[in-house]
Amino acid sequence: MKKVLILTLTVVLALSAISPTFADEVATEVAPETVTEAVTEEAPVVAPEVVTEETPVVAPEVVIPAVPAGVTGVTVYINNAYLDCSVYGQNAFIKDDRTLVPLRSIFEALGATVEYDEATEAITATRGTTTINLKIGDKKMYVGDNVVELDVPAFVTEADRTMVPVRAISEAFGAKVDWVEATEQVLITADLTPVTELPVEGEDKVIAEETVAPVEKAEEVTPTEEAVVPAE
């Protein structure tokens, strides 16, 4: 009996001693494998910031004409053609930071008709529908009904030549004026399309020559057997 009890106790103790190890092994075999799956999430695509920059407007380069050989000092050009002011008795020159040219040189080069009243020293120039009025020594120039203040007024030189500011006159007729300081060149860009005056019922109306040609009135001839040719 004692032997049976001892054997039973031995088995119980043995089982108690090995049960933790057995449980761990059983748990290891039975527990499902833990699968670690890397979840990759695609990063959202962020559109780059749109930068809108206004394209700078670059003015066309000014073409600088070559100075004629032997010519010195200030020179003036209209549509890149050299304006020889010397043929009007006086070269262009600078006074008080303003370029002045002989009166008729600039007006005639721009296709304007000019009149000078010596008694009142008044200058009147007309091109198309634009009329300019100014006086010697007066800083006010009238372009139609508008008043333009001149930095340097028209004046008469000792050589009896009337000089006017080239920029003010040119711009009054709608021309563009550039100044090249390095070479002292005045570059004038102007529309020189010819215009003519056509009288209409007692009024002067300006019409482009290319658009309307003036109609010549037929000479009245008294009916005879043959036309009479007027003597030259």
Q: Give the pLDDT confidence of 4-15 residue by residue, as tens digits.
A: 556 555 655 555
Cα distance between residue 81 and residue 92, in whole Å: 15
Please tell me the predicted confidence (pLDDT) of residue 24. Answer: 53
Q: Are strands 75-78 and 185-189 parallel, antiparallel or unpaired?
A: parallel
Locate all alpha helices (DSSP H) within the chain, ordered by sequence: 2-30, 103-109, 166-172
Band of pLDDT at residue 18, cut at 50, 70 and 90? low
- Residues whose CB falls within 8 Å of the CB of residue 109, separated by 6 or more in sequence, listed in order: 78, 83
| Helices within 31-161 (DSSP H only) | 103-109
Q: Which helix (H) or strand (E) holds 179?
A: strand 176-180
Tokens of 165: 């500011």
Average pLDDT over residues 82-95: 96
- Give the model's pLDDT for residue 62: 75
pLDDT at position 219, please? 46
Phi/psi for 56 (5° steps) reads -65, 140
- Long-range (24+ apart) CB contacts under 8 A made by 190-199 are 190/78, 190/79, 190/110, 192/78, 192/79, 192/110, 192/111, 194/111, 195/111, 195/127, 195/128
Q: Is the pLDDT of residue 200 over 80?
A: no
Output the furthest CA–CA distance in the chain (Å, rounded). 184
Query: Which of the pair, 225 or 37, is modelled with greater confidence?
Result: 37
Q: What is the pLDDT of residue 21?
A: 52
Residues 118 and 121: their CA atoms lie apart, in Å, by 5
User: Collapsing DSSP states into helix, strand and coil, what is residue 176?
Assistant: strand
Percent of the chain with pLDDT over 90: 55
- Say if residue 136's pLDDT is above 70: yes
What average pLDDT is seen over the chain?
A: 76
Which pLDDT does position 63 carry in this prediction?
Answer: 86
- Band (pLDDT 50/70/90 cuts) for residue 50 is low
Q: Reduce the DSSP state of residue 169 to 3 states and report it.
A: helix
More confident residue, 4 or 95: 95
Q: 0.75 cut: is pTM over it? A: no
Of residues 32 and 60, more confidence is placed in 60
- Which of 6-20, 31-45, 118-132, 198-212 comes out lowest in average pLDDT? 198-212
pLDDT of residue 194: 83
**pLDDT the model gives residue 213:** 44
Q: Which domains does the chain have, with CATH numbers?
A: 75-189 (3.30.457.10)
The rounded distance, in Å, linking the Cα atoms of 101 and 91 is: 7
